[in-house]
Each structure stands twice: as structure tokens, then as C-alpha cells.
Amino acid sequence: MPIQLWTNTKHMYNHMIRFNCQLLLFVSFISLAQNEQPMLVIDYDFYLNFDGPTHFRSSLYIKGNERLFVQGHGDNESIEEEKEQKEDGSFSFSFKFFENDSIGGYNYTNLTNDTIISRKPWFDKKIYFLKEQVTQIDWRIYEDTQKVGSILCQKASGNFRGRTYEVWFAPEFPLNAGPWKLSGLPGIILKAADTTGKSVMVFSKIRKEDPALFPRIGIDNEKFISIEEYAKLQKSAGQELARKLMAKMPRGVKIEATSSESLEIFED
């Protein structure tokens, strides 16, 4: 009943408001553009557990309708190739599994046009720029709450690119944002883990920064590949890497003869 009344009253005002609104709208667009909201930066510990060194110190920059998730550099970058020649002629080695250059990988999400642009350093010094539409993940929200650090979060789960993620989002930060490509919940995702434990993202720090410090990324002149092309690329690289690994193994050492795993799983 009360709502009905309200609507009627609004109806009466509409005329006037409408006129004003147009101006207001115009003004408000400008105001939006000059939004002085501070930039929120969330640092995440990003763990990927596929056969190798895996801890990344990532950061998520949130400014207006832009999100930039910078994967960061691995803990173990200093261990590149280490080969030790033993007296019996055999050698032992350690290796870096994730290709990275000085800029690294990142995911730039633009909520205005709903796209994600990802920069991916690849083997043999190649770099790929992937452009895709934001995938609307079908989240199921539970009533469970839990403190992640000191922040109360609520649980949700959803499937994305072949993995099921269990995430915890913070309603007290009501922004559509999350690490990597996970988003679309009524709060920032502060913790996410896929159910096989192969990928875990947990926030380590939340801070405010001057929005002018949003990292500059120059992608205007880059050539983009589609998500389908990326799927093909990933499949062949995974196999190639596993095979290169096998070449080095001496007799008696067994490795699982499957292609190496990846964070995004595409159906054939």
C-alpha cells in the first residue's frame, strides 16, 4: 500500500522532475566522469599449484568502472635455470614453470563495455593480448559467513572455465570486483579457491591509493586474439611443455604423461 502511494506522488512530480532530470542527468554524467572516489588496491596471494613454483604477489586496482588485476612476479623468480654437473656425468636441475617478463601478466576489466583484456607472456618471448567478454558467472550464494582476516565475508560458489570456485566476498565492500577474472558478486571477492585446491587467491592487504596511480597500460595498438584462439594456444603449449620436460628425464624416473594443467580449462 505505501508503495502505491509513493508511486502516485512520483507520478505527479515526474513532469517537473523529468525536465530537471535531463539537465541533472547531463550534469550527473559529468559528475560521474569526474568521480573523485579513491582507488582501492587489494593485494592478493595468488597460488597456482601445477607442478612448479607457484606463489604470485598480485594486486587488484579498482577505480570507477575499471579493474586491473596484475598477476605480479612469482616468489621464485630468482631460481631460473640451475644445473649442477655431478661427478658421474649426470646433472640435476631446477626450472621455472611460468614464463614472465618484467611487466608480467594482467587482466584489465572494463565494466562499461564488459570486456576483459589480458596480457599473457608466452614461451619463446612471445606476448599475447586476449580480449573477451566478461563471463557472467552463475554464482550460488550461501548463508555461511566467515571472517577472512578481520572482514566478515559470505560464501558463494560458481563454475568458470572448467573449474568450480568457492569464494568469500565482503558485503562491506560493495563493489563488483575480484581477483583474476572472478567477479559479479555483491561485494569484493577476498578469498577464492577452486575445489581441487590447484588455485587459491587470498587477500593479504587492502589499501586506499591516489587514483592517479592507476597503472598505465598501453594496449591501444595491440593485436588481440579471441578466447577460442587462446584455448587452442593453451592446449598446444601445455602439451609441448610436458613433452619438453620428458626429454630431460633419465631412465627410471617416471612422470605422468598428461599435458600440464592450466587455470582455464576449455572444452574441445
What is the C-alpha radius of gyration for the chain, rounded to an integer number of angstroms? 23
* List 115, 157, 171, 224, residue binding other proteins (CB under 8 A): 171
Cell triple for 182 = 572472478
Residues 131-160 within binding reach of other proteins (CB under 8 A): 141, 143-145, 147-151, 154
**To which H or E segment does residue 10 belong?**
helix 2-33
Q: For other proteins, give the closer residue by CB, 134 or 224.
A: 134
Residues 99-128 within binding reach of other proteins (CB under 8 A): 99, 111-112, 123-124
Residue closest to 207 by CA, chosen among 60, 38, 36, 42: 42
Q: For other proteins, give the closer residue by CB, 28 or 133.
A: 28
* List 197, 216, 218, 268, residue binding other proteins (CB under 8 A): 197
**To which H or E segment does residue 1 belong?**
none
> Scanning the structure block, which residue is given the C-alpha cell 577505480?
63
Q: Is 173 among the residues that bind other proteins (CB under 8 A)?
A: yes
**Which residues are bridge partners to 160 per DSSP?**
163
Q: For other proteins, give the closer residue by CB, 217 or 245.
A: 245
Contact at 8 Å (CB) between 21 and 169? Answer: no
Q: How many residues in the shown chain lie near other proteins by CB under 8 A?
A: 96
Q: For other proteins, give the closer residue by CB, 55 or 131.
A: 55
Q: For other proteins, give the closer residue by CB, 117 or 185.
A: 185
Q: Is 222 among the residues that bind other proteins (CB under 8 A)?
A: no
Convert 178-217 to b/e letters by CB count within 10 Å (16 or more is b).
Answer: bbbbbbbbebbbbbbbbeeebbbbbbeebeeeebeebeee
Q: For other proteins, give the closer residue by CB, 249 or 265.
A: 249
Distance CA 90, CA 253 (A): 13
Task: Kindly report the number of other CB atoms within 10 A of residue 106's CB atom.
Answer: 21
Residue 164 beta carbon to other proteins: minimum distance, rounded to whole angstroms = 11
**Which residues are bridge partners to 58 per DSSP?**
44
Task: Kindly report the number of other CB atoms within 10 A of residue 137's CB atom.
Answer: 20
Q: Is 245 among the residues that bind other proteins (CB under 8 A)?
A: yes
CA atoms within 13 A on the CB side of 19: 4
First to last CA, the chain: 55
Of the ranges 127-135, 210-218, 221-229, 237-245, which one interacts with other proteins (CB under 8 A)?
237-245
Q: Is 247 among the residues that bind other proteins (CB under 8 A)?
A: yes
Of the ranges 127-135, 216-224, 226-234, 246-254, which one interacts with other proteins (CB under 8 A)?
246-254
CA atoms within 13 A on the CB side of 63: 20
Cell triple for 58 = 598480485
Of the ranges 127-135, 169-177, 212-220, 221-229, which one interacts with other proteins (CB under 8 A)?
169-177
Residues 36-95 within binding reach of other proteins (CB under 8 A): 37-38, 40, 45, 47-49, 51-55, 64-65, 75-76, 79-83, 85, 89, 91-95
Q: Is 196 among the residues that bind other proteins (CB under 8 A)?
A: yes
Q: For other proteins, give the closer residue by CB, 162 or 226.
A: 162
Q: Say whether 123 sits in a helix, a strand or coil.
A: helix
